Amino acid sequence: MTVIESKISRDELETLYYNYANALDDELACWPEFFTNDCLYKIVTRENYDRDLPLALMLCEGRGMVLDRVDAIKRVNFYTPRFFRHVISNICIVKNTCGTLYAQANFVVFESFVDDTIHVFNAGRYFDVIVREETTLKFRQKICVLDGNLIPGSLIFPI
pLDDT tens column, 17-44? 999 999 999 999 999 999 999 999 999 9
Residue boundaries of the structural domains of the chain: 10-146
CA gap 28, 66 in Å, rounded: 11
Residue 14 is predicted with a pLDDT of 95
Residue 70 is predicted with a pLDDT of 93
Residue 98 is predicted with a pLDDT of 79
In whole numbers, what is the pLDDT of the chain averaged over residues? Answer: 89
Question: CA separation (Å) from 22 to 16, 84, 97, 140?
Answer: 10, 10, 27, 19
Backbone angles phi, psi at 103, to 5 degrees: -140, 160
Residue 77 is predicted with a pLDDT of 54
Question: CA separation (Å) from 97 to 8, 9, 105, 130, 156?
Answer: 9, 11, 18, 11, 34
Q: What CATH class is the domain 10-146?
A: alpha beta
Residue 74 is predicted with a pLDDT of 83
pTM: predicted TM-score of the whole model, two decimal places: 0.90
Residue 10 is predicted with a pLDDT of 86
What is the DSSP track for 66-111? HHHHHHIIIII------EEEEEEEEEEEEEEETTEEEEEEEEEEEE
Those residues of the chain that have pLDDT short of 70 are: 1-6, 76-79, 152-153
CA gap 110, 119 in Å, rounded: 6
Residue 89 is predicted with a pLDDT of 97
CA gap 1, 148 in Å, rounded: 37
